[in-house]
Amino acid sequence: MDLLDQYKISKTNFTKEEILRLSQLSDQLLEDAQCADILILPGHSDFEPQGIFRDGTLSFYKYSKKNLSDYKVCIVEDPQKIKSENLRSAEIWIPILFFSYEFVKSVGSDFVAQLVINYVEKIRGKSKDPTRAHLKIVLGSENGDVPDQIDYDGPAEGLKELPKIIGKMRLK
């Protein structure tokens, strides 16, 4: 089976403004989130205000602080209130990521895809064990339109197809 078939592209049911309104953030955090390039959203299968973050949230946040220091990454929750899943699984869970429209426009869709691929490579290290990856990314839209999202649940190797998927979406 083609690994491209494991990707699902759909419309989200929220905009960035709605995410920030529903998340009840402090003024400072709200200000940070408004101008963030990448938002890490709570929720397991979909954004869930004040919900539990996916497994891998801390790992991605720390990775971004070290490797993406030129960009602003913000977790949509007060640090003291963050609850996260810990699934004790060898599978790779990537938190729900919202890439702002301005960020995708400035760095390009290939960069966004490569960012995710590099992170997964870092997590896997030298391990060659077959493993599954779970990804949900939202690409911000212009003028407050409802954004598109990509879901992927399949072998980690399938993430190498992500540039094609994002590229195809941007062409629409």
Partner 1 sequence: MVQYDPLNIADSIANTKIRRLINSLPHNINAKQFRQAIGIAKKGKRICDDLIEDARTTNNENAANCALVLKAYFELWESIAKYWDQLMDFNYNDAWGCLQDGLSASHFILTHASNPEQLLVSELCEYLLSYEEIFPYRVFASTGLVVIESHCNICGKNPYDPGCTHMPGELYMGEAAVCVVDKIEANEVSLVQHPEDKRCIIFLPYDRKHPENSAFRDIYRVSTGVEKPLQILDVQRAVIEENTSELHCPDDWDCPCGSGIFFKDCCMGNPKISISRIVHVQITKDLIKLNI
Contacts of 162 (CB under 8 A, 6+ apart): 113, 116, 117, 135, 150, 152
Contact in structure between 151 and 93 (CB atoms under 8 Å): no
Half-sphere exposure of 104 (CA within 13 A, CB side): 22
29/115 with CB nearer partner 1 = 29
73 touching partner 1, by CB under 8 A: no
Shortest distance in whole angstroms from residue 19 CB to partner 1? 18
Among 59, 71, 101, 169, binds partner 1 (CB under 8 A): 59
* Binder among 10, 27, 28, 66 for partner 1 (CB under 8 A): 66
Q: Which of 167, 170, 166 is nearest to 151 (CA)?
A: 166
Q: Which is nearer to partner 1, 57 or 149 (CB)?
A: 57
Question: Which has the closest alpha carbon to 136: 4, 2, 8, 5?
Answer: 8
Q: Which of 75, 113, 115, 137 binds partner 1 (CB under 8 A)?
A: 75
The interface mask with partner 1, positions 120-139, x = CB under 8 A, is: -----xxx-xxxx-------
Place of tokens 């960020």: 103
154 binds partner 1 (CB under 8 A): yes
Which DSSP letter does residue 3 get?
A: G
Residues that bind partner 1 (CB under 8 A): 1, 3, 5-6, 52, 58-59, 61-63, 65-66, 75, 79-80, 82-91, 125-127, 129-132, 154-155, 157
